[in-house]
Amino acid sequence: MERTVNNRLLTYLEDNDLLSDRQYGFRQRRSTGNLLVYATHLWGEALEKYGEALAVALDISKAFDKIMCHYFWVVCDGIGDVVFALDLVVQLRTGYLEQGLMVYDSKKLAKHYIYSRAFLLDITALAPLDLLQLKIGTNPLIRFPRFLKVYRAVNCYYIVESRTVYPNFWRVINLIHILLILAHWFGCFYFLLSEAEGFQGDWAYPHRPGDYATLTRKYLGSLYWSTLTLTTIGDLPTPETNAE
> Domain for residue 95, yes or no?
yes
For the stretch 122-171, pLDDT in tens is 888 888 887 777 777 777 778 888 888 888 888 888 888 888 888 889 89
Instruction: Tell me which residue of 110, 116, 115, 76 sits closest to 94, measured CA to CA.
Output: 110
Structural domain span for residue 230: 169-244
What domain count does the chain have? 3
Q: Which of 148, 163, 178 is the last residue of a domain?
A: 163
The contacts of residue 173 (CB under 8 Å, 6+ apart) are none
Regarding whether 107 and 152 lie in a shared domain, the answer is yes
Regarding whether 184 and 127 lie in a shared domain, the answer is no
For the stretch 198-235, pLDDT in tens is 878 778 887 776 667 777 888 888 888 888 888 877 67
Q: Which of 163, 193, 208 is the last residue of a domain?
A: 163
**79 vs 74, more confident:** 79
Q: How far apart are CA 93 and CA 181, in angstroms?
A: 31
Regarding whether 76 and 146 lie in a shared domain, the answer is yes
Q: How far apart are CA 234 and CA 243, in angstroms?
A: 21
Regarding whether 184 and 125 lie in a shared domain, the answer is no
What's the whole-number mean pLDDT along residues 64-90?
73
